[in-house]
Structure 1
Amino acid sequence: MAPSKADPSPELAAPPRALITALRRLLRPVVRLLVDHRITFPILSGLLKEIYVDVADREFALEDRRQTTTRVHLLTGVHRKDVKRLREEGPGADVAPQTASLGALLVARWMGEA
Structure 2
Amino acid sequence: MEQDSQRFLKVMRGLMRPIVRTLIARGVTAPAFYKLLKSVYVEIAHDAFRIGSEPPTDSRITLLTGVHRRDVRAILSQGGERWESARAKSAMFATVLGQWMARADYRDDTGAPRPLPRTAESGPSFEALVRAINTDIRPRTVLDELLRQGLVTEDAEGRLRISDTARRGPASDADRLVFFAANVGDHIAAASENLMAEDPPFFERAVFYNRLPSEAVDRIEDRARTLSQDLLETLNAESLSQRAADTTPEDGTERYRLGIYFYREADTPAQEPTRDDGGDKN
Q: Distance in 1 between matches of 2:55 and 2:18?
A: 38
**Cα shift readout 1:54-99 (whole Å, capped 9, x = no counterpart):** 10001111115442100000000011111000000000246xxxxx
Q: Distance in 2 between matches of 1:15 and 1:59?
A: 24
Answer yes or no: is 1:48 the counterpart of 2:37.
yes
Q: Which amino acid aligns with 1:37?
A: R
Q: Which amino acid aligns with 1:30?
A: I
Larger Rg: 2
Over the aligned positions, Cα root-mean-square deviation in angstroms equals 1.6
Answer yes or no: is 1:35 the counterpart of 2:24.
yes
Greater relative contact order (CA < 8 Å, ≥ 6 in sequence): 1
Q: Distance in 1 between matches of 2:58 and 2:33?
A: 22
Which residue number corresponds to residue 2 of structure 2? 14
For residue 15 of structure 1, report the CA deviation from its aligned partner.
4.8
Which residue number corresponds to residue 7 of structure 1? none
Q: 1:26 aligns with which of 2, 10, 15?
A: 15
TM-score normalized by the length of structure 2:
0.28
Q: Which amino acid aligns with 1:87?
A: L
Q: Distance in 2 between matches of 1:41 and 1:93?
A: 22
**Deviating 4+ runs (over 6 angstroms):** none
1:1-114 mapped onto 2 (5 Å cutoff):
13-16=1-4, 17-93=6-82
Q: Which amino acid aligns with 2:44?
A: V
Partner-residue secondary structure (3-state), 2:2 = coil
Structure 1: gaps spanning 5 or more residues: 1-12, 95-114
Q: Distance in 2 between matches of 1:86 and 1:15?
A: 30
How many residues get paired?
A: 82
Q: Which amino acid aligns with 1:47?
A: L
Structure 2: gaps spanning 5 or more residues: 84-282
Identify if the C-alpha distance between structure 1 residues 35 and 93 changes in structure 2 by more than 3 Å, giving closer, same or farther.
Answer: farther
Q: Distance in 2 between matches of 1:18 and 1:88?
A: 34
TM-score normalized by the length of structure 1:
0.65
**Cα shift readout 1:15-37 (whole Å, capped 9, x = no counterpart):** 52431221011001111111111
Q: Distance in 2 between matches of 1:15 and 1:83?
A: 27
Q: Distance in 2 between matches of 1:86 and 1:55?
A: 12
Which residue number corresponds to residue 99 of structure 1? none
Q: Distance in 2 between matches of 1:26 and 1:45?
A: 17
